[in-house]
């Protein structure tokens, strides 16, 4: 996922009140609409992009109608979905240990 540095709640409140970013509820609705039956609120945070500190981001997790949880990252100003990662499985989990090599018969 794109690097994000979480910001303090006072800064988050200030950037929402100033109109620099969209309100949490609006961003959450955008994220929820991405997945059929989406329900969000499983983790909500504003932050700054690590590679562009003047860009604010919004991270959340959305549960779809099948109960799968999606990790999402949005541009907090535009509402554009930057990343939308599916649930981790053994097949695509980057943290999974490498498969053991098969023994060769020589």
pLDDT-derived band of residue 89, with 50, 70 and 90 as boundaries? low
Task: Report whether pLDDT(91) > 70.
Answer: no
Pseudo-torsion of CA 55, 30, 2, 9, nearest 10°? 60
Looking at per-residue confidence, does 103 or 30 come out higher? 30
Q: Report pLDDT for 43.
A: 85
* Per-residue b or e along 43-70, where b marks 16 or more CB atoms closer than 10 Å to that residue's CB: ebebbbbeeeeebbbbbbbbbbeeeebb
Task: Kindly report the pTM of this predicted structure.
Answer: 0.78
How far apart CA 83 and CA 58 sit, in angstroms, is 11
- Euclidean distance between the first and final Cα of the chain, in Å? 43
pLDDT tens digit sequence for 33-44: 999 898 887 789
The answer to whether 77 touches 24, Cβ cutoff 8 Å, is no
What single-letter DSSP state applies at residue 39?
A: B
| Longest Cα–Cα distance in the chain | 71
């Amino acid at each position: 996922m794109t690097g994000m540095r979480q910001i303090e709640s006072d800064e988050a409140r200030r950037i929402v009140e100033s109109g620099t970013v969209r309100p949490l509820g609006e961003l959450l609705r955008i994220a929820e609409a991405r997945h059929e039956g989406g329900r969000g609120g499983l983790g909500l945070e504003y932050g700054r992009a690590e590679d562009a500190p003047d860009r604010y981001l919004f991270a959340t997790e959305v549960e779809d109608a099948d109960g799968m949880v999606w990790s999402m990252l949005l541009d907090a100003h535009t509402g554009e979905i930057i990343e939308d990662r599916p649930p981790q499985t053994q097949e695509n989990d980057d943290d999974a240990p490498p498969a053991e090599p098969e023994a060769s018969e020589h």
